[in-house]
Structures are given as C-alpha cells and as structure tokens.
Amino acid sequence: MPQLTMREAISQALWEEMEANPKIFLLGEEIGVWGGTYAVTRGFYDHFGAERVKDTPIAEGVIAGAAIGAAMGGLRPVAEMMTINFAFLAFDMIVNHAAKLHYMFNGQFKVPVIIRAAGGGGRQLGATHSQTPDVIFAHFPGLYVLAPATPYDAKGMLKAALRQDNPVLFIEHATLYQARGEVPAGDFTVPLGQSEVKRQGKDVTIVTYSKMLQISMEAANQLATEGIEAEVVDLRTLRPLDLEPVFASFKKTNRAVIVEEGWKSFGVGAEIAARTYEACFDYLDAPIKRVAQLEVPLPYNRELEQSAIPKAADVVRAVKEVL
C-alpha cells in the first residue's frame, strides 16, 4: 500500500471529493493563492479556481458563519480556521449556530459544514497558539468532533464527513502533518463516531486519540520489550463518543490508562474515566490513571514546553502504576 503523510491524505480527500461533488468548496485564510498555511490546499486554487477555493479576510467569525450559511443554502463548504486557537473567535458560530440550527428549527435546515482546524502544542508558538481545546467543542450536542491520528483515518473520515449532513469540526494535529502511514489508493471512507482498537493487548488498555496515539503506540512498544502487552484504543471521534470498544477492551484487561494532550481538568480523560466507572466498575483491578498536559498555558521555551506535554515515558510510568 502507498505511504502518505497526513497532509497528503487530507489533501487527497478534499481533492477527490471536490472532483466528485461541485457543491463542495473551500474558504479560509490563505488557502488559495498561498496554498494553505499548512500547505494542505496547495495546488487547489490553480486547479479548481477562485470560485471554489475562496481566500477570505482574517475574520474567523464571518468565515465560519459564511460557511454555515452556505451550508444552509445547500452547499458543502469546508472552512479552514488556520488553527483551532482562532476558532475561539468563531466559537459562537460553531457552538450556537452550526450545532443548533438543525435542532432549534426542528429539522428545517441542514448544516453540512466542515470546519478544519490545526490543533495541539509542541511547536514553540506560545500559550495562545498551542492549545488542545478539543473537549470544549465536544461538549456540544449537534456537532461532530473528529480528531484522526493516522493518514488512513484522516482521509477516510474526511471523505465520510463530506458525504453526510451534519456540522463537523475536523481537528488536525499540527505536528502530525508529516506523519506517514499506509493509505490505499482508490475510494474508501472510515465511519464517523467509531473508536478503533489500534493495537491488541491483554494486560492494560490505553485509551487515546490524535497525536497522543503516536505517543501511546511508542509506549506500548517499549512496554512490549518488557513483556507487557498494552491494548491501544483510538477514539478518533470525540462527539458522538463511541465507548463500546473502550469498555470491551477494559473488560478484557481490567486496567486502563487514558492519554490526552489537553488539560486534565474537565477533560476527555475525566469523561472517559467517569463513564468507565459507571459501566465497568466490577471489572476494575486498579484505579484508572490519566496522563495529560500539565495545568499551565504552554510556554515558548522548548524545554519548558516539552516538559508540559505528555511523552511516551509518562505513559509507560502510568501503565506500570496500574499493573
């Protein structure tokens, strides 16, 4: 199977779906002539033209809002927020409008909008440009919040997202764009709202998503050299959240570590731990451990920043604590 980077996979998904469906168009800051600040849409402007690849002013509220309105009007817009940190400027549009219009008007409008945003820390961009606020968006019913970790999932999930009728926040981890993985040629989709076991194991379950899948797999490989077999479950979608594979895995291993890049307080790990206690309490052989970012705004200094973001060693340590 061909190896693609995450950037190529996302780009291919957009390109192929745009070729297939003239209702799909792109809008955002620097996505056209420039080719995207993360180069995901490089070449699109020349191929699809200014009508379908629309450069916008730097104005996130109206970028998201115009995308939502165009979706109400029957199109399938893909808006790029450049980074998820800027999506806070469009927060009202995303959570008060995209997420609620279908419900509040009792199904009269469909809002098949996709908002792409790069997220995550680790690039020395300082506190306001390094956040992982995925859970904040996942809090709202009515939205799909997708955060794929592999090029295969990214391509398949983005294609699936472009073929359904709900508003989607598609989170791309900025440090994963260069990550490589196998992606088959030809058309395929990956279902939304389904977690997946990415590594089989019997001793402990590691639940994670996005960039932290890489860290968790690295940890699992290290643990394997010591004879500890970790099962790794990738959430892939934060809303709607599919915990059945998590529970099934937990019932098998009886021990769990949850790994997220965001802050621990009120986070993804908090949610999964609480639901796991509700659903699987009798299967617990140890308290659930959570690995997460330290509760600080991320600093610019490389060493300081790295010390705040979870590493494979943190996951290994947490696993050993639950064994």
Partner 1 sequence: MEKSDYLRLYKQMVLIRRIEEKCAELYQQGKIGGFLHLYIGQEAVGVGAVAAMKQQDHIITAYRDHGIALAVGMEAGVVMAELLGKATGSSGGKGGSMHLADVSKHFWGGHAIVGAHLPLATGLALSFQYQHNDSVIICMMGDGATNIGYFHESLNLSKVWKLPIVWMVENNQYGMGTAVERASAVGEIRQKALGYDMANARVDGMDLLAMKEATAAALEHARSGKGPFLLEAMTYRFRGHSMGDPERYRKPDEIKKWQEDDPIGQYHDHLTKKKIATAKELDAMEAQVEEETAAAVRFAEESPNPAPEALWENIYA
The residue ranges that bind partner 1 (CB under 8 A) are: 25, 51, 54, 56-57, 59, 61-62, 64-75, 77, 92-93, 96-97, 101-112, 141-142, 164-166, 240
Please, which residue, 64 or 268, has the CB nearer to partner 1?
A: 64
| Distance from the first to the final alpha carbon of the chain | 37
Q: How far is the CB of 160 from partner 1 (least distance, A)?
A: 14
Structure tokens at 140: 């709202």
Q: How far is the CB of 137 from partner 1 (least distance, A)?
A: 15
Category of 33 on φ-ψ map: left (φ > 0), alpha (ψ -120 to 50) or beta: alpha
Using CA atoms, how far apart are residues 134 and 261, in angstroms rounded to an integer? 10
Using CA atoms, how far apart are residues 193 and 66, in angstroms rounded to an integer? 26
Please, which residue, 75 or 224, has the CB nearer to partner 1?
A: 75
Q: How far is the CB of 172 from partner 1 (least distance, A)?
A: 23
Q: How far is the CB of 284 from partner 1 (least distance, A)?
A: 31
Sign of the Cα torsion 196, 200, 202, 208 reads: negative
Please, which residue, 9 or 27, has the CB nearer to partner 1?
A: 27
Using CA atoms, how far apart are residues 216 and 176, in angstroms rounded to an integer? 14
CB atoms within 10 A of CB 42: 14
Please, which residue, 105 or 266, has the CB nearer to partner 1?
A: 105
> Which residues, listed in sequence order, are joined to residue 181 by a DSSP beta bridge?
4
Please, which residue, 66 or 183, has the CB nearer to partner 1?
A: 66
Q: How far is the CB of 273 from partner 1 (least distance, A)?
A: 25
The alpha carbon torsion through 102, 10, 83, 257 (nearest 10 deg) reads 90
Please, which residue, 61 or 184, has the CB nearer to partner 1?
A: 61
Structure tokens at 29: 């800051």
What size, in residues, is the chain? 323
Please, which residue, 137 or 263, has the CB nearer to partner 1?
A: 137
Positions marked active-site: 60, 129
Q: How far is the CB of 77 from partner 1 (least distance, A)?
A: 7
**Strands of 226-285, DSSP E:** 230-234, 237-239, 256-263
Assess contact for 201 and 230: CB atoms under 8 A.
yes
Q: How far is the CB of 210 from partner 1 (least distance, A)?
A: 22
Assess contact for 77 and 25: CB atoms under 8 A.
yes
Question: Of 100, 184, 88, whose CA–CA distance to 140 is shortest?
Answer: 100
180-182/3-5 β-pairing: antiparallel
